[in-house]
Amino acid sequence: MRDYYRPLVRSDFPRPDTALSLAGGPRWFTHVARHRRDGSVTRLAATEVPPEALARLTARRPSLLGLPMDRAQIMGILNVTPDSFSDGGSDRNAAEAALRGRRLIKEGADILDIGGESTRPGAPEVPSGEEIARTEPVIRALAGVPISIDTRKAKVARAAVRAGASIVNDVSGLTHDPELAGYCAENGLPVCVMHSQGDPETMQDDPVYEDVLLDVYDFLERQVDMLEARGLARGKIIVDPGIGFGKTQAHNLALLNGLSLFHGIGCPVLLGVSRKGFIGRIGRAPEPASRAPGSIAVALAGIAQGIQIIRVHDVAATRQALALWQAVEQGGKDDA
């Protein structure tokens, strides 16, 4: 029976001499929770973890686009769609969208994630040509800004990279378009692999898992291994458990509670929870634009588990919250 190791992450002082750094960052652990498919979860000393598994948990993640992965980075969401669940139709043209993107950078976004196809539950697929027409001029107008293209399609990714994008963010985890994995690998292009059960049109119909935490882990690990076998360095791959994509509220909460497990894949971990439906339900905020407090709370909970990238709509509010949270956590110390 396979063992899965979830580090029990801490950041308090004093740090014991036996503590191990999580992913080369400021957080540390001395123990792990061992998960098994029989449902058992056992607390173990980190010294009991096999060396290969321990190496992936502790190895420093290489920088991406010049952004260090030993601290939390903010990915600002810039949807240029008429129908995204929260910010669809925000701009009348590419120039307005680019202005909004530059405002997000000024507010504290480290990278922009630009998408031309809504992936909200029930959203229909958008033809590649239309997706390119929406995203390409905005990317060109934002030249010099770190940009991720949020797409499931190789044709769209090619056009975006020619226009200036540097990372591909695929919500299908490279399962929608068989050409996209090869394109990223052949060009050494950083890619974010997200887990999703089903397409946006059907993913929320009746999602079922044997063990959502381990099922999502296995999928992401397989996709990362596939990319690495095709020549893409593991350090250029980001993993995302796909909160809200083919998951019930219970699934989402189980994944959020066990997020540190995903460090075992050996890649930076991205968390995208901003304004999601479960935040509205739990936080009693039916309008997506009113969900910033809940979104920030969950993002900070993820950062406490060592998540390296948080994908958000409310950049300025998140940046402020993160700065204050880190200051309190450090307690006046110069190093976290």
Q: In angstroms, rounded to a whole number, what is the distance separating the alpha carbons of residues 99 and 62?
A: 31
**Distance (Å, whole) CA 251 – CA 211:** 9
DSSP bridge pairs for 311: 75, 272
Rounded Cα distance between 148 and 38, Å, is 39
Q: Under DSSP, is residue 170 helix (H, G, I), strand (E, B) or coil? A: strand
Catalytic position from the list 120, 276, 291, 319:
276
Kindly give the interhelix angle for 154-163 and 128-141, rounded to the nearest 10 degrees.
20
Other CB atoms within 10 A of residue 286 CB: 10
- Prior bond to 268 cis, omega within 30? no
Nearest Cα to Cα of residue 318 among 290, 299, 304, 336: 299
Question: Six-digit token pair at 88?
Answer: 């669809």
Name the residue among 259, 188, 195 with its Cα closest to residue 222.
195
Q: Is 53 left (phi over 0), alpha (psi -120 to 50) or beta?
A: alpha
Which residues fall within 8 angstroms of residue 96, CB to CB, at 6 or more apart? 90
Strands 4-7 and 237-240: unpaired
List the structure tokens of 41: 């979860």
Tell me the Cα Rg of the chain: 19
Residue that is written with structure tokens 């402020």 in the block: 320
Give the sheet arrangement for strand 111-115, strand by strand.
237-240, 191-194, 167-170, 147-150, 111-115, 73-79, 309-312, 270-272
Q: What is the DSSP letter of 46?
A: G
Give yes or no: 71 in active site. Answer: no
Catalytic (active site) residue 276? yes
Which of 27, 100, 158, 311 is the catalytic position?
311
Enzyme catalytic residues: 276, 311
